[in-house]
Amino acid sequence: MRQESIPFVNLGIQFERFQNEIIEKFKQISSAGHYILGAEVEAFEHEFAEYCQAKFALGVANGADALFLVMKALGVGAGDEVITAPNSFLASAGAIVATGARATFCDVAEDYNLDPEKLAAAITPKTKGVMPVHLTGLPADMGPILEVANKHGLFVLEDCAQAVGARYKGKRIGAIGTAGAFSLHPLKNLHVHGDGGAITTNDEKLYQKLKLLRNHGLKNRDECEIWGYNSRLDAIQAAIARIKLRHLDEMTTRYQTIADNYWRGLKGVVRVPDRPDFAEGVYHNFVIQVERRPQLQEYLSSKGIETKIHYPIPIHLQQPARKWGHQEGDFPVAERQVTKILSLPIYPELTDEQVSRVISEIRFFYEAT
């Protein structure tokens, strides 16, 4: 019997669930003609700030812009350095370079996040800040990171692109450091139907500056206080984010349940993710480490199970970073992980049966071959 395939993502079924609400909202917005900023965006910002336990939130065009704008607002520019993780998505380093600064890296620990013990050694006199990435949806160990950062007078910008709703020692990520940058890209746990992003912070001055920067630096219609950018969350996307935010906790619980099933089902067969005491992850990705990865991936694919690698080439070994003199061996933990990591399908609509099937196929692969 040919089994039904299990795609890595399935946005269609999530839409079916929210279809009526979303279409209704679209109608409202297009019949009122309010497409830029305005009430929907403000309401989203208010609700998102509350959700993230932050004083302020600001909707922006995408997650990369969220990182970029915060650093611009903090005065990062040419000659500066910002430290981030070499195993993140490219946008983390790209946003640093976009400010004119240079991205520098600190190796990660077994939980895929910045290794606080190696952080101090990565700091130079040019370092202005640290950008820990809550990769896969698991919070980085913020306590020791903040300690090192504070000691050196560095800002801490949390890259929360994959981690909306995650908690570090009981507190939501996003305003634990100086600010948090979120992505609402269609593949994220909280997502919209195009590009979108958000920034969270408790710092009112920073918030006010960011508000100027995302909208041409305009303090009113006719006066430009600082030369800024155009990076706004579309009103229709804000409306979609609001609909989904109301269901986020429930969706997160489902992500966690699936992760827990994978974890128990695969423990001892492959390397399952760390579950440090300080963190409550939201499993944007469920990443395992495996032997014979290409063969496993091919086997699963032959069974209709789609898997991905996030990401096969660490940032410091990407073409433009090699120009800074990086080479293999610079960040051994990240480099070792990238040869073994594999992301399994995980989304709220994935059924228990589908999860069991993924588990048994992986078990079968290692037991039978």
Partner 1 sequence: MEVLNFLPNQYRETGALEINHNYLIEQFADYPLIFKKIEKLIQVGDYTLGAEVNRFESRFAEIVGTKFALGVGSGTDALFLSLRALDLQPGDEVITTPYTFYATIGAIVTAGGRPVFVDVKEDYNIDPKKIEAAITPKTKAILPVHWSGNPCDMDEITALAEKYRLPIVEDSCHGIMAKYKGRGLGSFGFGCFSMHPLKNLNVWGDGGVICTNDEGTYKKLSLLRNHGLINRDQCEVWAYNSRLDTLQAIVANHLLDKIAHITDARIENAQYYDQALGSISGIKVPPRSPDKKAVYHIYVIQAERRNELQDHLVKSGVDAKVHYPIPMHLQPAAKPWGYKVGDFPRAESICNSVISLPVHEFITPEQRTFVVERVKEFYS
Please report, as residue ranges, which positions from 155 to 194 form the binding site for partner 1 (by CB under 8 A). 185-186, 193-194
Of 6, 52, 57, 64, the one binding partner 1 by CB under 8 A: 64
Of 228, 273, 281, 345, the one binding partner 1 by CB under 8 A: 228
Query: Cis ω on the peptide bond leading into residue 168 (within 30° of 0)?
Result: no
151 or 219, CB closer to partner 1?
219
Please tell me whether residue 333 binds partner 1 under the rule CB under 8 A: no
Please tell me whether residue 302 binds partner 1 under the rule CB under 8 A: no
Please tell me whether residue 226 binds partner 1 under the rule CB under 8 A: yes
Tell which positions 82-111 bind partner 1, by CB under 8 A: 89-91, 93-94, 97-98, 100
94 or 276, CB closer to partner 1?
94
Q: Is residue 13 a contact partner of residue 349, using CB atoms and an 8 Å limit?
A: yes
101 or 358, CB closer to partner 1?
101
34 or 55, CB closer to partner 1?
34
120 or 218, CB closer to partner 1?
218
Q: How far is the CB of 83 from partner 1 (least distance, A)?
A: 16
Per-residue 3-state assignment (H helix, E strand, C coil) for the chain: CCCCCECCCCHHHHHHHHHHHHHHHHHHHHHHCCCECCHHHHHHHHHHHHHCCCCEEEEECCHHHHHHHHHHHCCCCCCCEEEECCCCCHHHHHHHHHCCCEEEECCECCCCCECHHHHHHHCCCCEEEEECECHHHCCCCHHHHHHHHHHCCCEEEEECCCCCCCEECCEECCCCCCEEEEECCCCCCCCCCCCCEEEEECCHHHHHHHHHHCECCECCCCCECCCCCECCCEHHHHHHHHHHHCCHHHHHHHHHHHHHHHHHHHECCEECCCCCCCEECCCCCEEEECCCHHHHHHHHHHCCECCECCCCCCHHHCHHHHCCCCCCCCCHHHHHHHHHEEEECCCCCCCHHHHHHHHHHHHHHHHHC
Of 29, 82, 131, 359, the one binding partner 1 by CB under 8 A: 29
Number of residues that bind partner 1 (CB under 8 A): 73
111 or 195, CB closer to partner 1?
195
Of 227, 250, 327, 329, the one binding partner 1 by CB under 8 A: 227
Q: How far is the CB of 213 from partner 1 (least distance, A)?
A: 9
Of 117, 147, 225, 328, the one binding partner 1 by CB under 8 A: 225
Tell which positions 246-275 bind partner 1, by CB under 8 A: none
Q: Give the distance from CA 16 to its chain's centroid.
A: 25
Contact range with partner 1 by CB under 8 A, out of 37-45, 80-88, 118-126, 173-181: 37-45
Please tell me whether residue 43 binds partner 1 under the rule CB under 8 A: no
Please tell me whether residue 332 binds partner 1 under the rule CB under 8 A: no
32 or 121, CB closer to partner 1?
32
Q: Give the distance from CA 130 to its chain's centroid.
A: 16
Please tell me whether residue 236 binds partner 1 under the rule CB under 8 A: yes
Q: How far is the CB of 270 from partner 1 (least distance, A)?
A: 22
Q: How far is the CB of 117 from partner 1 (least distance, A)?
A: 28
